[in-house]
Structure 1
Amino acid sequence: MSLGYLALGWGVPVLIILLLTHICRNAERTIDSTLGPKTEIYAGFLGIMIHEMSHWLLAKMFHHRIVDVKLLVMPWDVNLNEEHPCLGYVNTAYSDHSFYQMIGTAFIGTAPIYGCTAVIYLIYRLFTPNLLKLMTNTVESLISNPLSFSWNDFLYNFVGILKFDSRTLLLVTFAFYLIINITLTGFDLSDADLKSSYTAGIWILIFMSAIILPMVYFQMTDFLNYYLIGFVIWIVAIFSLSILTALLVDFGCHILHFFIN
């Protein structure tokens, strides 16, 4: 039972982070092989900048010292001889004697997942509230009762939303451009990001174990069932919007690759 709670509270967020990274890396590789290695900068410069700004903001919150920042490497400055060319960076330093700063590396390394999700949610909310409502209702339906979900109803409601006037169509087109630009590059955590999060992530697991195991031993499972499971459902609901968006962008990249190549 204790392992189940740990799998929910620690494993689910980690799985979401790795899944988003995998999907967006796949999309980037596809667009690079289709239109060239610098295309992701032109098509995803907003995502790169939000990615790096998220690192910077979380580094500030956890009191890391900012050594050097470059939000975007211009296409003509990219070193294509590198296996994974650097498109932007935030270099930080922290004290090994500060547990707060050390734990912060887990959140700083994965910060683009939170930052890009927040910005995409805001864009949906500002420009396409009806589509946001449909997508959130779809996620809630899949979480609460996946067997009752109907793709026919989803497509019917989606087509109904697409009946825009010219002004709304312009806003929706602009919103989709922003979302694609952010999703294409924003969620892709580098190997350095993941590596910097690894040790702190293990410490978070140990910390959670120190809380959950005694609670299970003293039969405080009602508390865990209400708060921990509720938290996990909230996390899944929030990030499912990003996962669904990332899957659509990845699918679009593969369609483009199919028609061009």
Structure 2
Amino acid sequence: MNFVIELLLKTCIETVYLTGMVILIGLILGILRNNSIKNFQRSFGSKAVMITGFIGVPIHELSHAIFAVLFGHKITRVKLLQKPDENGVLGYVQHGYNQNSIYQQIGNFFIGIAPIFGGVFSIIALMKIIIPKAYSSFISILFGSLHVTALNKSTVEGVMNSYLGLIKVIFSLKNFENPYFYIFLFAAICISSHISLSSADIKGASKGLGVIFIILFILNALNLSKYILSVDLIKYNILITGFLMIAIILSTITFLISLFFVSIKN
């Protein structure tokens, strides 16, 4: 009995190591997104969501569609953008899969969280084109974090200070003198406003998460996980966190802008 309990505990920890940071950041992005949209609607009316939605929603849905194809799912219907329905749905991707395929079942997790990565990739691509200096700083921070071998107060402070420096580079005076920077800022806000996961996304991702847990449990039971999880999990999580920090930074800025408009209206 103790062996089973230890096995379950070990599998839970490994599952959290592999997926926990993405899920946590997804939840934070959801909170920021929901509050930002509420503030924009209070400031500009119920249709304000379409202001950001015409860029953000298609990228959100295309991310689902691309990952669905990568994991062999059959896409049956796609709506990249529509007026909010009675449930507030702005777009959707309907897809089916072979329930006997472990690969396709695991795919549910990645298809569910796809908008986070699709949104971040889109923002980074815009950054590289419009504000290349900020892009170079981001890449330096990202790869610099790979040298971290242990998590402690000094390393965490060092990483956070690097991202504070990135914010200064993005919002430098020189960038505000560049007219294209405002295009980047608007597009990035639109994307970050719809980068979080809907309840349907979370429900779909949870199916794949369950399969990942079962696979890790079996690997642990056979004492094979040490070969699969030989990658340094600390570096993996720092890399994932660093990659997603762009979404956190821009979603926070979007939230602050929404608060600004609410204060003006009041």
* TM-score, length of structure 2 as denominator length: 0.79
2:183 counterpart of 1:183:
no
The aligned residue for residue 144 of structure 1 is: 155
Of the candidates 192, 201, 207, which is equivalent to residue 200 of structure 2?
Answer: 192
Structure 1 residues 38, 117: CA separation in 2 closer, same or farther (over 3 Å shift)? same
Partner Cα separation in structure 1 for residue 75 and residue 134 of structure 2: 39
State the Cα distance separating 1:117 from its structure 2 match.
Answer: 0.7
Partner Cα separation in structure 2 for residue 159 and residue 131 of structure 1: 5
Of the candidates 208, 214, 223, which is equivalent to residue 216 of structure 2?
Answer: 208
State the Cα distance separating 1:10 from its structure 2 match.
Answer: 2.6
2:260 counterpart of 1:255:
yes
Amino acid at match of 1:190: S
Kept in 1: contact 2:134–2:166 (CA 8 A): no
State the Cα distance separating 1:21 from its structure 2 match.
Answer: 2.1
Of the candidates 65, 74, 83, which is equivalent to residue 65 of structure 1?
Answer: 74
Equivalent position SS for 1:38: helix
Structure 2: runs of 5 or more not aligned: 1-8, 146-152
The aligned residue for residue 52 of structure 1 is: 61
Equivalent position SS for 1:101: helix
Structure 1 residues 131, 93: CA separation in 2 closer, same or farther (over 3 Å shift)? same
Structure 1: runs of 5 or more not aligned: none
The aligned residue for residue 101 of structure 1 is: 104
The aligned residue for residue 26 of structure 2 is: 17
Alignment of 1:78-93 (within 5 A): 78-79=84-85, 82=86, 84-93=87-96
Amino acid at match of 1:59: A
Partner Cα separation in structure 2 for residue 115 and residue 137 of structure 1: 21
Kept in 2: contact 1:28–1:40 (CA 8 A): yes
Amino acid at match of 2:127: Y
Partner Cα separation in structure 2 for residue 118 and residue 148 of structure 1: 21
Structure 1 residues 6, 196: CA separation in 2 closer, same or farther (over 3 Å shift)? closer
Equivalent position SS for 2:174: coil
Of the candidates 131, 151, 172, which is equivalent to residue 161 of structure 1?
Answer: 172
Of the candidates 115, 118, 126, which is equivalent to residue 115 of structure 1?
Answer: 118
State the Cα distance separating 1:209 from its structure 2 match.
Answer: 4.3
CA RMSD in angstroms, aligned pairs only = 3.1
Structure 1 residues 255, 215: CA separation in 2 closer, same or farther (over 3 Å shift)? farther
* Deviation digits for residues 117-140 of structure 1 (CA, Å, limit 9, x no counterpart): 110111111111223344566776
State the Cα distance separating 1:208 from its structure 2 match.
Answer: 3.3
The aligned residue for residue 29 of structure 1 is: 38
Partner Cα separation in structure 1 for residue 167 and residue 243 of structure 2: 24
State the Cα distance separating 1:236 from its structure 2 match.
Answer: 0.8
The aligned residue for residue 234 of structure 2 is: 229
Partner Cα separation in structure 1 for residue 166 and residue 124 of structure 2: 21
Partner Cα separation in structure 2 for residue 16 and residue 212 of structure 1: 27
Amino acid at match of 1:197: A
State the Cα distance separating 1:157 from its structure 2 match.
Answer: 5.1
